[in-house]
A and B are shown apart, each in its own frame.
Chain A
Amino acid sequence: AQKVTQAQTEISVVEKEDVTLDCVYETRDTTYYLFWYKQPPSGELVFLIRRNSFDEQNEISGRYSWNFQKSTSSFNFTITASQVVDSAVYFCALSEPGSARQLTFGSGTQLTVLP
């Protein structure tokens, strides 16, 4: 069965610090997708990134970067020069082949960026 672990329940940083959110996953499939979603205090779920299992290239989007390593089954997320607006719960999720390809979510990491 698939599983996503986000061991960091809460992280606090001061504005402009860099912060990395960890995500470790388990799956028996060789083909799968990994995702990160952001849930700000307003409550909606905002899609950040999708990565398929065949593409281990790291990705950078502005202050956000993702490090996918199949060897360690990890898909970590780094925010550079954090800002107060980055404060949110961040979820890592896994989708594997199957009839619905639903998301299996990690338990989330609450990130608080202090001014």
Chain B
Amino acid sequence: DTAVSQTPKYLVTQMGNDKSIKCEQNLGHDTMYWYKQDSKKFLKIMFSYNNKELIINETVPNRFSPKSPDKAHLNLHINSLELGDSAVYFCASSQRGKHIISNTEAFFGQGTRLTVV
């Protein structure tokens, strides 16, 4: 029973298309994240939602729009895909807790490898 699952695992699409990546967690966590891993393996936060509320929106082009219909789901929609969007996108979840000491570790999905051609 996968804790954090994201679909699809691979996504190949042409420039200019719109695509979505879905993420679901069954851990009961209150916070979900999208991270981007570039071709050099560098991981960077993109977005974070806590109880369906957007709390982090890093300097990401507004072609990227996250949507959280409920605490267990965080989807990522990308409009007008560009070559530079090719990367691996990871969804993650954690339980934030009132104080950082009570924070849990983040659990990651298996990643979605997006290739824009």
A45 B108 Cβ-Cβ under 8 A: yes
A44 B48 Cβ-Cβ under 8 A: no
- A64 CA to B105 CA in the complex, in Å? 18
Stretch with Cβ within 8 A of B (4 or more), from A12-20, A27-35, A65-73, A77-85: A27-35
Main secondary structure of the interface of B (DSSP, over half): strand
- A95 CA to B99 CA in the complex, in Å? 12
B108: contacting residue among A33, A44, A89, A107, CB under 8 A:
A44
B94 A45 Cβ-Cβ under 8 A: no
B100 A32 Cβ-Cβ under 8 A: yes
A47: contacting residue among B43, B48, B107, B109, CB under 8 A:
B107
Q: How many of chain B's residues touch chain A, expressed as a range?
A: 20 to 34
Q: Identify the A interface with B (CB < 8 A).
A: 31-33, 35, 37, 39, 43-45, 47, 50, 52, 54, 89, 91, 95-97, 99-105, 107-108, 110
Q: Can you show 20 pairs from A to B with CB atoms below 8 A apart?
A: A32-B100, A35-B106, A43-B88, A43-B110, A45-B90, A47-B106, A47-B107, A91-B43, A99-B56, A100-B45, A100-B50, A100-B96, A101-B31, A101-B96, A101-B100, A101-B103, A105-B42, A107-B42, A108-B41, A110-B41
Q: Identify the B interface with A (CB < 8 A).
A: 31, 33, 35, 40-45, 48, 50, 55-56, 88, 90, 92, 94, 96, 99-101, 103, 105-111, 113
